[in-house]
Structure formats: C-alpha cells, structure tokens
Amino acid sequence: MNNPEKYSKRVGATLRAIRKEKELSLNELAEWTDVSSLTLGKIERGEANPSLSIIWKIANGLSIPISFLLAEKEEVAISRKHGGQKVLSADEALALEPMFTMRGHGSIETHRAFLEPKSEYHAGAHQPGVVEYVTVMEGRVQVKVQDDVYELGLYDSIKFQADQDHAYINPAEMEAVLHFVMIYTQS
C-alpha cells in the first residue's frame, strides 16, 4: 500500500480493534505500551503515521507481532521489493517492509529491512519468547546481541532470542538488505 493516509487509517483501525478486543481504555493502553494516550488516539484516528519505534512499543506492550498492526489481510499475497508500506526508524537509518504473517500459536512474520550505509538500528528487547532469524541479502552487517557482536556477510544468517537487547550495524558504504523471520512463541 503506497498511500500513507490510507495506511495510517488501516493501522489505526487495527489498533483500535485490538485494544477493544483486549477491553483496554486508551489510558490503559498508554500504560502498557509507554506511548502517550494522545499519540495512541491520533494513531487510532489515522491522524498519525507512527515510527517503527512506536510500532514496536505498541506491539511489545500488547505482546503481539508488529505485523498484526501492519499487515493487510489477504488470502494470497505477493510481496514485491519496495512495493509495500515502509515503517522507518526514528532516525530513518532502517526501513522495514512487512511481508507476511501467520497468526495463531507460534505466530510467524517476515520482513525485509534496508539499513542505510554507516548506520545503526538499535532494536532493544522484544516481548518474551520472540526468536529472530536474520539473513543478509545484500551487503554485510554486524548484529549485536547483548554485548556480543556477530559479523555477517552476504547470505549469512543468524538466529537469536530477540527478547534481549540487540542492534544492527551497517559499517559499509552501501545499503544492507536484511530478511527477517520472527517467531512469537507466546501470544
């Protein structure tokens, strides 16, 4: 979806539906997510296009995959490079393109990510039980999990528990392209 206004309205409607399903007020959701009720209200009304860090806070607070908030509901879906709505990190170092999601016990989602040259994206810790599988599709990156740094080259992959502090570092002069598979073992 390339229309930011339509995208914002869909994300907002999805967030409102999830909040109502969990029988939460905006103030309760704000407490759960550490996002202000004013911001959450704007998102629900489609008046704000939230950054990736805000989306993560909301998903972590609700203990849901971020794709629950971002993905369109389709039976058959094709995900084309740069064809979907991108979610940017606050400093725009990382652009995340949600691709596919499968809901239920052990939910799975896939994303494409584009990490700018000479940049770093600090993901922090996700909710308990999240496992990330990351493959470098272009370039090279360093993945920092807690205090350990792992060097990954073209087509190298890493798997780790994502409910701990982690970051992605692109030391190169060219954009790095990553493929994420995220498994949520608790829902």
- Give the pLDDT confidence of 111-152 residue by residue, as tens digits: 899 999 999 999 989 888 889 999 999 999 999 999 999 999
- Give the pLDDT confidence of 82-95 residue by residue, as tens digits: 666 677 888 888 88
Which has the higher per-residue pLDDT, 153 or 1?
A: 153
Asked whether the beta carbons of 46 and 4 are under 8 A apart, the reply is no
Domain's final residue, options 42, 70, 98? 70
Q: Which CATH number fits the domain that encloses residue 52?
A: 1.10.260.40
Q: Is residue 79 part of a domain?
A: no
- Nearest CA to 132 out of 90, 171, 124 is that of 124
Q: Which CATH number fits the domain that encloses residue 148?
A: 2.60.120.10
- Give the pLDDT confidence of 47-81 residue by residue, as tens digits: 888 888 898 899 889 888 887 787 665 555 566 67
Domain's final residue, options 70, 105, 120? 70
Residue with tokens 């009304």: 45
The DSSP annotation for the chain comes to: ---HHHHHHHHHHHHHHHHHHTT--HHHHHHHHTS-HHHHHHHHTT-----HHHHHHHHHHHT--THHHH----SS----TTTS--EE-TTSSEEEEEEEEE-STTEEEEEEEEEPTTEEEEEE--STTEEEEEEEEES-EEEEETTEEEEE-TT-EEEEESSS-EEEEE-SSS-EEEEEEEEES--
Please give the share of the chain, as a percent, with pLDDT higher than 90. Answer: 46
How many CB atoms are closer than 10 A to CB 107? 19
* One domain, residues 45 and 119: no
Give the range of the structural domain holding residue 22, as residue numbers without chain letter.
4-70
Distance CA 70, CA 1 (A): 10
Beta bridge partners of 6: none
pTM: 0.60
